[in-house]
Amino acid sequence: MSQRLRFILLVISVLLATYCPSLVATSAPDHDQFRVAVYIPVFVVQKMKDPAYLQKSWNDLSSQIKVDKVYIETYRSGTIADDANLKQVKAFFASQHVETAGGIAYVAV
């Protein structure tokens, strides 16, 4: 990449950061008036076996709002998350300083 092109890209980046701060990635705003809890359905918990999916999902959510707690669903309609999956997901959220709790959806037949 030429030096001139690098300079132009740098100028554009600075202008965007200065005049369009919403386009620049920032951390989620802190809040002290309420706590945010998120419920993760078991079908999503199963997708979280893939560390890349888990990280991307967390990045997308946590860039928008500070999450204080997640409820990790373990069972719904005959679908059960396995222990290794649950431990992995719980450990991930603990590493993000997010409180965890279990959730279950009972469906009467």
User: Tell me: the pLDDT tens digits for 59-92?
Assistant: 999 999 999 999 999 998 889 999 999 999 999 9
Assigned domain for 89 exists: yes
Kindly indicate the confidence band of residue 104, based on its pLDDT and cuts at 50, 70 and 90: confident
Assigned domain for 11 exists: no
Question: pLDDT at position 77, please?
Answer: 85
Q: Which residues of 33-70 are buried (b: 16+ CB within 10 A; e: fewer)?
A: eeeeeeebbbebbbebeeeeebeeebeeeeeeeebeeb
Average pLDDT over the chain reads: 84
- Boundaries of domain holding 47: 27-105
Assigned domain for 7 exists: no
Whether 25 has a pLDDT exceeding 60, the answer reads no
Assigned domain for 72 exists: yes
Assigned domain for 20 exists: no
Task: Count the Cβ atoms, other than its own, within 10 Å of residue 72.
Answer: 22
> What percent of the chain clears pLDDT 70, i.e. is strictly above it?
72
Assigned domain for 57 exists: yes
Assigned domain for 65 exists: yes
Tokens, residue 108: 């009467």
Assigned domain for 15 exists: no
Structural domains in the chain (count): 1
